[in-house]
Structure 1
Amino acid sequence: MEMKDEPPTIKEGCFVVITRCGYSRLCPVVPGKRILLHKTVFYLDNLVGHSFGQYFEIVNKQLQVCSNTIPESVAFSNNLPDGLMSDSDADSNSDTEEANGNMEENASNQMVTCEELAEMKKKGTSSDEIIRTLVKGSLSFKRKSTFAQSKYVQRKKLKHSEYVLVLKPTIRLLADIFYKKNPGKMQYLRQDAFAMLLAKSNIYPGARVLIVEDCYGLISAAIVEKMNGDGICLQIHRGDQCQSKPCLDAMDFPENILKTFQPVPISLAFKENENEDNAIPIFTKWQQKLQEFEKGEFDSLIIASRFDPRILSEKLLSKIKLSGTIVIYSACIQVLSECFQQLRSSNQVLNLEIMDTFMRYYQILPNRTRPEMNGHVSCGYLLSGIVAE
């Protein structure tokens, strides 16, 4: 009889990704911790013991697991609720669309009062029923075009839907969350450029990887996951402690996999403190990791940092073995152009190339398929090459 693996459950102290109406946030499961997601406040106390990938409803600022797999208000997120479609299609309803342009949206068009709405919420009425009541109570809803009806439902769902989806953190989710939160602190490393960086780095189980990054630990987390406990991911960082690596912490790797991650301060790697009085105890603390760094013979060098890549590549190139790969990411092409010239003149790196990627999000809806109106045009550039003698 085959034994099936039980799905992972949410434990106190672990990280979860909370998604609501297209907004996502990475949160630690801490009892009593107040979470604010798109103007909605709730607590995560009731998540412990449940499985990832479930929908929860916010009731009195607490999360309650949904009985149905996909709540109705989520299921018709881009469609109209059953029985509320207008009588004519959007293609043939030109009169309705023309009238919709002259239609004024005001409170007199809504039969449901604020007092009735507050009473429904006080009684614990589900957000599905609240949205249906608001749609049925709108006097102008039937006169709207199909497109306007869908937008109306979307606005009400965004305001009144109390459903959240709880997901287990993955590299893709973390890359999307932190890029949307603050692309500048991610060095404008978008998901497509991130995927290209990993592909060019030639990461595999058992590899020795040398990395310098300032992307919330996203690249290090992806490498550690890829190596699956076999190999070394040695990261050079600023300061005495490796800080600002929430992506690595959020993945919650077991100890046998996390052991491959070995941070080393940049001051020790470049021997900036060797003449200071406190150098001996500091060196003893990092001795094993420094020995791995001095050993060299790394298969890959990855640089995605605020440091000047020309200086880093010059100092670290000798640590990469022959036929090893070097990948440098920067949001500025001028920096990579100068680094390209420096590496080419050294005659130590072959197959040098600078590349960029292009990605555009599309809205896919009936009769409304188009590119998203907002987005970042550039996501940075990659310089890659192969180390030779």
Structure 2
Amino acid sequence: MIEEGIYVVVQKLGGEHSRVCKFGKKQSILVEKLKFVVDGAFGCPFGLFDVRDGALIPANVSALNQEELTETEGQASCNGQTESASAAASVVENDAALDPAQKRQKLTQEAIVGLKGAGMTTDELVNKLVEGNSSFADRTTFAKDKYIRRKARKHADRVLLLKPTIRQVADSYYRKDAERIANLRIDQLSQVLNFAGIRAGIKILILEQCQGLVSAAVLDRMNGDGMCVHLHKGSQAQAIPCLHSLNFDEKVMNSFYQLPIESLLCKNGPKSEPDQQHLSAESKQRLLARREKEEQLLTVVNANRMDALILALRTIAPVESLQMCYAYLAPSAPLVIYSPFVQPLIDCHQWLKEQGAVNIQLIDGFYRRHQVLPDRTHPEMQQMVTGGFILTAIKVLAPK
């Protein structure tokens, strides 16, 4: 159920982009030029909602089924009308000589805005646009279908409110601003989890600069059984919005530990203490509790060698971080290093060879999205394919 204070994936029906938003009372959200207030979704299950006058209303399932049946019958009748290649070519030539879109469409922008303001649904508006387009009848079957889908996507008044998953969160952040997550694509994230052997009961060290995306994926796979130690610079962890976006319950969050990397390097535990003269009694108590928790965590990390190590870094040199954390890795344990640049991984590759690590691999993956439609399956013309590089290895003990 959708409740106040949780994170929800918001996507316009037929849209290409999604947003991960934290829902609050009277909160207004804008997604692909569609604006609405979220209060109408509280207490409702995740799913499809209609937007009426800026408010959310759960979609009518029976009406949707009837619309889908009508659309399927229409597509079947269109598919029955075959066109020869020569006829299609002549129509394409005629399309090039047609007037601009503004002249071909009888409905003005003001009229369209007025119809939408009067409460006309998307399907009814698209039908009006089809009727008002003077060149629609001269188009090919594929061109007609493309025109209808494009107009339906542009004037859609429905949104999907989805429960966040690691794939949706990763895709949303990658499409919005890939540099914030070090250009980590969803396929490379799955490779990182696979090479690190993430499973229930594992103890793992993670140092990342991907907004908490890697830690969130690890916690999602562990499901509260294991130990995920999230290393960070400074006295407090940096922002990890991807982890918070998945709405993990208390069981899962109890397996997540945050530890300053400087504490991991100090043999006698944390040494740096902030100036406590200007702190309140409550702040001092919280600071003391955090220090005690860090010391207990250090005892566990030092006593039990970690089962895996993941480094996913943008601005920190991976080889330096690897040298800091390598001693805490158990023999025969895997390590995975991700970087948007290849040169830092080459330095790590050389250092691992000197340490006697085995099965060292440097991987560069390729990923493309495809449009899958009848007789129109091909890679998408416009897409981001930027990614990074992955270095994997297995630690072994040096011969005596």
RMSD of equivalent CA atoms? 2.8
Matches of 1:176 and 1:80, distance apart in 2? 33
Partner of 2:353: 344
8 Å CA contact 1:15, 1:26 repeated in 2: yes
What is aligned with 1:234?
229
1:334 to 331, 336, 343: 343
> Residue in 1 aligned with 2:59?
66
SS at match of 1:205: coil
2:371 is the counterpart of 1:363: yes
Gaps of 5+ in 2: 277-286
Match of 1:26 in 2: 20
2:159 aligns to what SS in structure 1? strand
Query: Aligned equivalents of 1:110 and 1:125: distance in 2?
Result: 18
User: Which amino acid in the other structure matches residue 17 of structure 1?
Assistant: V
Q: Choose from 248, 254, 268 the match for 2:263.
A: 268
| Distance in 2, Cα, partners of 1:261 & 1:195 | 20
1:51 aligns with one of 45, 51, 60: 45
Instruction: Report the 3-state secondary structure (helix = DSSP H, G, I; strand = E; otherwise coil) of the residue aligned with 1:274.
Output: coil
Please tell me whether the aligned partners of residues 19 and 172 of structure 2 are also in contact (alpha carbons under 8 angstroms). yes
Contact 2:270/2:295 (CA < 8 Å) preserved in 1?
Answer: no
Q: Is contact 2:224-2:253 (8 Å) kept?
A: yes
C-alpha distance in 2 between matches for 1:71 and 1:353: 50
Report % sequence identity.
32
Distance 1:275 1:331, change over 3 A: closer
2-structure distance, mates of 1:190, 1:126: 37
Of 184, 188, 191, the match for 2:186: 191
Q: Per the alignment, do residues 310 and 319 of structure 1 end up closer, same or farther by CA in structure 2, a change over 3 Å counting?
A: same
Q: Distance in 2 between matches of 1:212 and 1:69?
A: 49
Equivalent residues in 2 for 1:133-172, closer than 5 Å: 133-172=128-167
Structural mapping, 1:253-332, within 5 Å: 253-271=248-266, 274=271, 281=288, 283-284=291-292, 286-306=294-314, 307-332=316-341
- AA of the residue aligned to 1:123: A
For residues 251 and 101 of structure 2, what CA distance do their matches in structure 1 show?
Answer: 61
For residues 130-168 of structure 1, give each alpha carbon's deviation from its aligned partner in whole angstroms, at most 9, with x where no partner exists: 111111221111112333323322332232111111110
Per-residue CA deviation, residues 259-285 of structure 1 (Å, 9 max, x unaligned), is 000011223222396265769956335
- Corresponding residue number in structure 2 for 1:103: 98
Q: Which moved more, 1:109-118 or 1:305-314?
A: 109-118
- Whether contact under 8 Å (1:12, 1:30) holds in the other structure is yes
Using a 3 Å threshold, how does the CA distance of structure 1 residues 81 and 62 change in structure 2: closer, same or farther? farther
Does the 8 Å CA contact 1:120/1:130 hold for their aligned counterparts?
yes
Please tell me whether the aligned partners of residues 32 and 43 of structure 1 are also in contact (alpha carbons under 8 angstroms).
yes
CA distance in 1, matches of 2:84, 2:41: 42
> 1:89 is matched by which residue type in structure 2?
E
Structure with more helix by fraction: 2
Question: Secondary structure of 2:100's match?
Answer: coil
Structure-1-length-normalised TM-score: 0.89
**How many residue pairs get matched?**
378
Distance change in 2, residues 1:88/1:341 (3 Å): same
Shift of 1:362: 1.1
Asked whether the equivalents of residues 90 and 146 of structure 1 are also in contact (C-alpha less than 8 Å), the reply is: no
Amino acid at match of 2:17: Y
2:279 paired residue number: none
How do residues 165-184 of structure 1 correspond to structure 2 at under 5 angstroms? 165-184=160-179
Tell me, in whole angstroms, the C-alpha distance in 2 between the residues paired with 1:154 and 1:326.
46
CA offsets, 1:271-308, max 9 Å, x none?
Answer: 39626576995633522223233334100000002321
Give distance in 1, aligned partners of 2:238 and 2:62. Answer: 39
Give me the whole-angstrom Cα distance separating, in 1, the residues matched to 2:215 and 2:342: 23
TM normalised by structure 2 equals: 0.87
| Secondary structure of 2:181 counterpart | coil
1: distance between equivalents of 2:370 and 2:90?
28
Distance of 1:176 and 1:275 partners within structure 2: 39
Is this contact kept in 2: 1:55–1:69, CA < 8 A?
Answer: no
Q: 2:1 aligned with 1:13, yes or no?
A: no
Give the letter for the 2:30 counterpart.
L
Q: Indicate how the Cα distance of structure 1 residues 353 and 113 shifts in structure 2: closer, same or farther if over 3 A, else same.
A: closer
Deviation for aligned residue 1:88: 5.8
Structure 2 Cα separation of the partners of residues 243 and 184 of structure 1:
16
How far off is 1:90 after superposition?
7.0
Other structure's SS at 1:248 match: helix
Report the residue type matching 2:40 in the other structure.
Answer: N
Q: 1:93 to 1:374 in 2, by over 3 A?
A: closer
Residues 205 and 168 of structure 1, relative CA distance in 2, 3 Å threshold: same
User: Residue 311 of structure 1 aligns to a residue in which SS?
Assistant: helix
- Alpha carbons of structure 1 residues 141 and 353: separation in structure 2 relative to 1, 3 Å: same
Give the letter for the 2:249 counterpart.
Answer: P
For 1:361, the aligned partner's letter is R
Give the CA deviation at 1:69: 6.7
Q: Deviations over 1:74-121 (max 9, x none)?
A: 969x99966995966374432212111211224342233445433322
What code does the residue aligned with 1:357 have?
G
